[in-house]
Amino acid sequence: MKNMKISEAVVRRLPIYLRYLNELTMKSITTVSSQDLGHKLDLNPAQIRKDLAYFGEFGKKGIGYDVAYLIEKIQQILKLDRQIPVALVGAGNLGRALCNYNTYLKDQMKIVAVFDASPQKIGETINNLTVQPIEELKDAVTRLGVRIGIITVPAIEAQNVANQFIHAGIEALLNFAPVIIKVPSEIRLHHADFTTELQSLAYYLD
């Protein structure tokens, strides 16, 4: 099953599995079946087995999956076995909120630098990080080996910040600004957009 192209849907489920597996660890549960996982996560057990089988044979027939081993494997798949340095531009409320997620992200990912364009924000401290002027972005990205950029600036500035990230050599971007931005095809761009999320939710009201 190796070397197949993995669909985005599969990749998006892996962190969900990871989250539940971590919950099981905290409850000292050491084994889990696709049945259990499916029931808890509202997914088809066959789908879960298939998702995992793309990457290897992690389970034991008749037994299920060893929780600790599966966590390790999924972390490897998602490249969360090393620490991935992340930088954030936009030290407003949202940016500040995300910086506080460092705890949830464990050691696997870490926001290592925060930037803002407005002079009065420079020097502020957020969760042990000092807000730096945006002019320092390229230097810091290179120096700290930042691979993922987070954009939490107002909509009108988002494209500009994206350009600066790209110029600095970023590999992937997570954009929170409610605006369409364009990046070269080699940059992976994800959107985390509160407004579109709310708007699609409205559709399901009676």
Partner DNA sequence: TAGATTGTTAATCGATTAACAATC
Known binding residue 56? Answer is no
For residue 58, what are its two tokens? 């992690």
> Using CB under 8 A, which of 105, 144, 168, 181 touches a copy of itself?
105
Site membership for DNA, residue 201 (CB under 7 A): no
Q: What is the Cα–Cα distance from 131 to 114, expressed in whole angstroms?
A: 5
Residue 35 is a binding residue for DNA (CB under 7 A): yes
Q: Is 128 left (phi over 0), alpha (psi -120 to 50) or beta?
A: left
Give the nearer residue to DNA in terms of CB position, either 63 or 156.
Answer: 63
Subset of 44-103 contacting a copy of itself (CB under 8 A): 77-80, 84, 86, 92-94, 96-98, 100-101
Q: Which is nearer to a copy of itself, 157 or 171 (CB)?
A: 171
Q: Is 101 helix (H, G, I), strand (E, B) or coil?
A: helix
Single out the residue of 16, 41, 45, 66 in contact with DNA (rule: CB under 7 A). 45
Ligand-binding site membership of 38 (annotated): no
Report the C-alpha gap between 59 and 52 in whole angstroms.
Answer: 9
Rounded CA gap, 100 and 121, in Å? 17
According to the binding rule CB under 7 A, does residue 20 interact with DNA? no
Give the separation between CA 105 and CA 100, rounded to whole angstroms. Answer: 10
- Binder to DNA among 16, 47, 83, 102 (CB under 7 A)? 47
Other Cβ atoms within 10 Å of 38 Cβ, number: 16
Query: Nearest to residue 24, comparing CAs of 72, 66, 74?
Result: 66
Judged by beta carbon distances under 5 to 8 A according to partner kind, the member of DNA, a copy of itself, none in contact with residue 64 is DNA
Q: Choose from a copy of itself, DNA, none: what does 61 bind? Cβ within 5-8 Å by kind.
A: DNA
Token pair of 100 as six digits: 């506080």
Binding site for DNA (CB under 7 A): 1, 7-10, 32-35, 43-47, 49-50, 52-53, 57-65
